[in-house]
Amino acid sequence: MRTKPRIVGRRLVAHSRLFRIEEIDLEFSNATRRTYERVPGGADSVLIVPILDAETVLLIREYGAGSERYELGLPKGVVEPGEDPLTAANREIQEEIGYGARDLRIIDRLSLVPGYIQHHSLIVLARDLYPQRLPGDEPEPIEVVPWRLDQLDALLAREDFDEARSIAALFLAMRFLERETL
């Protein structure tokens, strides 16, 4: 195992309402120095795979400002300070899809662009759903799209379903569910 580089300096170079960018000066074990920019971490987020029944996952369609189009994906949100991740996941699905879950389980943890962003998404499997809506903070109602699990190839072929975290989370959830039935 290599020795991690030593952080010899860090400074905030930009910030907005949502993001901070910092430069970090690193010294590697061979004495080479480099300055990197990164988005430092905050709270983890949750990405929820809500299973309505044995054949159906609930997706959402909402506007993505980064892609400038409506995207199909999984419900997600930030874990608020002091909030348990499973509580956050249950809150998010109540806000976004109008269901709560009696069975919530963290099945994995994913990073997103680890070379630049210090952040993780917890993948949460939500089962035993029941109707329950909480008000959300979205600017318009989110469309809920039930999708048959046996039609994942058709989902992957869609242009509006291309977020890597949603794709990875579905595969991880399917793998988890398959192992559970063995």
Q: How many domains are contained in the chain?
A: 2
Tell whether the model's pLDDT for residue 182 goes beyond 80. Answer: no
Q: Say if residue 11 is in the same domain as residue 71.
A: no
**pLDDT class of 137 with cuts at 50, 70, 90:** confident
Asked if 98 contacts 132 with a C-beta cutoff of 8 angstroms, the reply is yes
Per the structure, the complete domain to which residue 29 belongs is given by 6-38
Q: What is the pLDDT of residue 114?
A: 86
Q: Are residues 172 and 84 in the same domain?
A: yes
Answer whether residue 1 is part of any domain. Answer: no
Summarize pLDDT for 67-120 with one digit per residue, the tens. 999 999 999 999 998 999 999 999 999 999 999 999 999 999 999 888 888 889
Question: What are the phi and psi torsion angles at 59 (to 5°)?
Answer: -105, 170
The CA distance from 140 to 160, in Å, is: 18
Average the pLDDT over 11-24 and give the result. Answer: 91
Query: Are 64 and 130 in the same domain?
Result: yes
pLDDT score at 94: 98
Place of tokens 């299973």: 51
* Whether pLDDT at 42 is above 80: no
Question: Which H or E run includes 149?
Answer: none
- Residues 152, 177: one domain? yes
162 near 155, Cβ under 8 Å?
no
Q: Which residues contact 148 (CB under 8 A, 6 or more apart)?
A: 55, 56
Residues 12 and 72 in one domain: no
Please report the pLDDT score of residue 142 as a whole number.
93
Tell me whether residue 130 is in a domain: yes
What integer is the mean pLDDT of 115-136? Answer: 94
Give mean pLDDT, residues 33-42.
89
| Residue 170 exposure: Cα atoms within 13 Å on the Cβ side | 23
CB 80 within 8 A of CB 88: yes
Looking at the structure, tell me whether residues 32 and 53 fall in a common domain.
no
Question: 48 with 73: CB under 8 angstroms?
Answer: no
pLDDT of 160 strictly over 80: yes
Is 26's pLDDT higher than 90? yes
- 86 with 29, same domain: the answer is no
For residues 99 and 145, membership in a common domain is answered with yes
Residues 18 and 49 in one domain: no
Residues 161, 82 share a domain: yes
Residue 66: inside a domain: yes
- For residues 53 and 33, membership in a common domain is answered with no
Closest CA relative to residue 89, chosen from 76, 98, 80: 76
Asked if residue 165 and residue 104 are part of one domain, the reply reads yes
DSSP class per residue in 157-169? T-TT---HHHHHH
Within-domain flag for 119: yes
Share of the chain above pLDDT 70, in %: 100
pLDDT score, position 17: 85
Mean pLDDT, residues 28-35 taken together: 94
Token representation of residue 166: 């949603």
Distances (CA, A) of 144 to 57, 61, 84: 10, 7, 25
What pTM was computed for the model? 0.90
